[in-house]
Amino acid sequence: MATLNPILEKIPLFQEELARNKEILLANLVMAGEIPAETFREARKKEFMLDRFRECGLDKISTDEVENAYAILPGRSSRNILVSSHMDTLFPASVDHTVQVDRDVVTGAGVADNSLGVAVVTSLPTLLQAMGLQFDSNLILMGASRSLGRGNIEGIRFFLDNYDEPIEAGIFVEGVELGRLSYNSLGMLRGEVRFRSEGQPLADDWVRTGMIEPLANLIVKLQTIPLPHRPRTNIILGSCNAGKSFNMPATEARLRFEVTSEEIGMVSSLHQRIDEIIQEVASESGLDVDFEIIARRRPGGIGFSHPLTWATRKVMDHLDLSPIIQPSMGELSALIDKKIPGLTLGISRRATRAESEESVYIEPMFAGIAQLIAVISAIDEGICHERED
């Protein structure tokens, strides 16, 4: 790990330079944050990123069928490092997207998840130039589309399925939380079950309860599924909707759930068990049931002692950050599927989170980006090829 010390020594300088150039980052945060980008509606944010990449004179600025944004900051070798942030947010365009910049915090819809990530990737070429840094590797800068919810990380998957060059490693940038270190992915499955009576007459039994009763039966049966504590496995019943009023039987009932497990194969076997239960409830009730898989991830990752994770922990330690180790269910799992080493890192700390807006602190951003640049530097120096402890 001889290559890491010179990088660690530069971290305070990185932070100083970043603080000196904070307006570059904050202006991009404001501009990115004021563009609504619900999943599947990221086109304007993509154009923003592409315009910024053009202004920086980057290479191979491009987009694709799923509205990803790409550019390459060329290095001196043929190696490639992916630095990506997802462009979509949870806030619909109908929410006021005005961003407010105070002395210490930035507030607005989606600034934490993930306009700050987009701003960092977008600002990186300008910041690196201001800091006089150049890498041997090419940096593939990416704004990933269709990440959240039903997007099911389609953007990053599309890129990885269609990009021909080898990728040394990938880093996914999230606005929060500074100290986040995700190096593995849980096995995960998100499903939606719908009971509907439309088009078929309600049997006497269902006249009073409508679709709520079969849904309740399903929930009770799902809770009887035995789950191991180790490896950690969980079924979360995330949302449940049925009916519209006090006295009308519900004609539709919907359950959304998520299954996660650290064990390879566990999610698949739970999927099979859940499917059987759903068919059983459907058969008992004589109703048609729709069961849709919204998203699926395979478990995997690079491990705690992988040189990339090790180097990142050292960088965090140098910045007095305690790593918040959490498995990713986002873009990182697509990278893991392709056997490419990768991490997800956070940039700042959340100040507040309200229904209609989010706030992030400005000061921690400099540590967050210094951490990112140090990890890119470590990958550039070949850390991913070093032997694990």
Partner 1 sequence: MKEKIENWLEKKTFHHSQFWDLLKLIEQKEKKNLKISLCIPTLNEEKTIGKEVVIFKSELMNRYPLLDEIAVIDSGSTDRTLEVAASFGASTYLAEEILPEVGHRRGKGENLWKAIYQLEGDIIVYVDADIANIHPRFVYGLVGPLLYQEDTKYVKAFYDRPLAFSQGLRPSGGGRVTEILVRPLFSMFFPELSAIIQPLSGEYAVRREVLENITFPIGYGVETSHILDVYRRWGMDAFAQTDLDQRIHRNQSTTALGKMSFGILQSFLTRMQDFGMIREMVEIQKVYRHFEAKEREYILMEKEIREEERPPMATVPGYRKKYNLPERA
Question: Which residues of the chain form contacts with partner 1 (CB under 8 A)?
Answer: 21-24, 26-28, 30-31, 34, 55, 96, 98-103, 126
Query: Toward partner 1, which CB reaches closer, 26 or 124?
Result: 26
Burial of 306 (0-12, 13-18, 19+ CB in 10 A): buried
Q: Which of 109, 144, 112 is nearest to 35 (CA)?
A: 109
| Alpha-carbon gap, residue 124 to 28, rounded angstroms | 11
Query: Toward partner 1, which CB reaches closer, 29 or 253?
Result: 29
Query: Toward partner 1, which CB reaches closer, 19 or 90?
Result: 19
Nearest distance from residue 362's CB to partner 1, in Å?
A: 9
Nearest distance from residue 354's CB to partner 1, in Å?
A: 14
Query: Toward partner 1, which CB reaches closer, 24 or 325?
Result: 24
Whether the CA torsion 26, 124, 115, 71 is positive or negative: it is positive
- Which stretches does DSSP call E strand in 43-95? 59-63, 69-73, 80-86
Residue 299's SS3 state is coil
Contacts with 42 (C-beta within 8 Å, 6 or more apart), sequence order: 67, 87, 88, 143, 145, 146
Q: How many beta carbons lie within 10 A of that of residue 205, not counting itself?
A: 11
Nearest distance from residue 360's CB to partner 1, in Å?
A: 14
Nearest distance from residue 16's CB to partner 1, in Å?
A: 15
Nearest distance from residue 106's CB to partner 1, in Å?
A: 9
| Alpha-carbon gap, residue 354 to 2, rounded angstroms | 45
Nearest distance from residue 129's CB to partner 1, in Å?
A: 11
Q: Which of 277, 275, 239, 258 is nearest to 187 (CA)?
A: 258
Query: Toward partner 1, which CB reaches closer, 102 or 292?
Result: 102
Query: Toward partner 1, which CB reaches closer, 20 or 76?
Result: 20
